[in-house]
Amino acid sequence: MTPDEKLKHLENTLWTVASQLWANGELKPSEYTFPVLWLIFLKYADKIFQETTEKLIANQKPNRFGTIEELTKTDYHKEGVVYMDEKASYDYLLNQPEGTDYGKIINEAMKVIEKDNPRLEWVLPKQYWALSNDNLVKLLKTFTDLDQIEGDNFWLIYEYFMGKFESEWGQKGWEFFTPRSIVKLIVNIIEPFKGKIFDPACGSWGMFTQSLQYIKDHKDTDIVWNISVYGQEIKTQTIRLAQMNLAINGLEWDIREWSSMYTDEHNSIGKFDYVMANPPFNVSWIDKEKINNDPRYSFGIPWSDNANYLWIQIFANALKENTGRAWFVMANSASDARNSELEIRKKLIEDGVVDVMVSVWPNFFYTVTLPCTLWFFDKSKKWTDREKKVLFIDAKDIYRQVDRSHREFTDDQIKEITDIVQAYRQEEWTIRRCKRFV
């Protein structure tokens, strides 16, 4: 079975189990996502903990008394790993005797993890009493197959669940997850190797997992610890998923619970090395009275009842002068919007911040079928020979058809598109080599 086939089998298995929860009437479809996802998190955190234990033991050296000291929580925290007490381990939960109150012991496991890892205090769920023993046992047994799961595959499963909820049960308002092939492309272009990264619509930070993997693959591992992440998000449950995701990856974070449209919790203007965002498209009903004097909207308040050009200005103004780079995804309509939005777009171009635009075909996302455009800002282009240039790439004919309704970029296609950008920036490649893709 190929890796893709294994992942598809796992997705289908998880969906079947989750559907049984709904069918048994315990929870609504909108409610059982999180119990399932948190147990996946628990399994993955336990896997990382066990792997780290093996590494630490292998590297242990005797102290000055000639003895080997016991590993402590501090040893794991220095490695950026969530410490897992025995009573929080997956095997401990799975191997309880018949008649055990599984809701109670899983809730207790979550409390133990929070106690041992202070950054996760008040983050983990403790409502497993709402599920029956039978269904909790089914979930635990099902997730024993996740031993080989990688971090990015977790987010593929997450995205799969959101798409299934949308198509099967008509649920609306789920997070708009960024597919990994899109993330691979954007991190190749903006190269977020170190510094402060900001996402004012951060969701559960699934996008950042792939970015982190790119950094590990392309740079010395130590440079990962030079990254700090900042975000804003309006949904408490989503913030908790983001915090667990970042904790598993050994990163510090500062995520504030508030709407970025109305409040700037991080005093973001000119503060960040990178902005990476996938904001909600075409948001309406913005109270413009509340934002009239907000300095983040320095290019103007659009007349239309559409927040796209408010998001765009938040991203542009959060970047450090002369060095900051940004990426974000936008509905195609934002690229040729007229009237006041056209005037704002002109000002952005005249300011020299707009660097690259990539048009993408529909069906790259599980939950949104619209075609979209990837925008790239680069404040370092000022005073270079491309200061008054913008690179447009039409990538609508570049994709691999995954199935009837989903597409993605292959690694070779990502490289070709990246080569175009490098050529435009006069980095290593010649335009002639990439010309057929423009």
Dump pLDDT digits (tens) for 341-382: 999 999 999 999 999 999 998 888 766 677 889 999 999 998
pTM of the model as a whole: 0.85
pLDDT of residue 270: 97
Per-residue pLDDT tens for 16-75? 777 776 676 666 666 666 777 788 888 888 988 999 999 999 998 887 777 888 899 999
pLDDT of residue 158: 62
pLDDT of residue 271: 97
Place of tokens 């269904």: 135
Average pLDDT estimate for 171-181: 61
Does 3-164 carry CATH code 1.10.260.40?
no
pLDDT of residue 218: 62
Share of the chain above pLDDT 90, in %: 46
Confidence of residue 129 (pLDDT cuts 50, 70, 90): confident
* pLDDT greater at residue 408 or residue 312: 312
CB neighbours of residue 364 within 10 Å: 22
pLDDT of residue 63: 77
For 233, the 3-state DSSP assignment is strand
The tokens describing 94, both together, are: 């799975």
Residue-wise over 305-331: b if at least 16 C-beta within 10 A, else e? ebbbbbbbbbbbbbbbeeebbbbbbbb
Comparing 17-31, 135-149, 162-176, 215-229, the range with the smallest average pLDDT is: 162-176
Average pLDDT estimate for 305-329: 95
Alpha carbons 32 and 276: distance in angstroms, whole number: 29
Confidence of residue 428 (pLDDT cuts 50, 70, 90): very low
Q: Are 417 and 185 in contact (CB under 8 A)?
A: yes
What topology does CATH give the domain 180-437? Rossmann fold (3.40.50)
Confidence of residue 171 (pLDDT cuts 50, 70, 90): very low
pLDDT at 11 over 50: yes
**What is the biggest distance separating any 2 CA atoms in the chain, rounded to whole angstroms?**
77
Domain extents for the chain? Answer: 3-164, 180-437
pLDDT of residue 224: 47
Provide CB contacts within 8 A for 122, sequence distance 6+.
114
Confidence of residue 169 (pLDDT cuts 50, 70, 90): low
Alpha carbons 105 and 122: distance in angstroms, whole number: 17
* pLDDT greater at residue 182 or residue 263: 263
pLDDT of residue 434: 43
Average pLDDT estimate for 265-280: 94
Per-residue pLDDT tens for 387-421? 889 999 999 899 999 878 788 899 999 999 999 99
- Determine the residue type at 222: D
Range of 2-6, 94-98, 206-210 with top mean pLDDT? 94-98
Same fold, 3-164 and 180-437: no
Average pLDDT estimate for 164-180: 58
* pLDDT greater at residue 61 or residue 15: 61
Alpha carbons 108 and 121: distance in angstroms, whole number: 13
* pLDDT greater at residue 186 or residue 219: 186
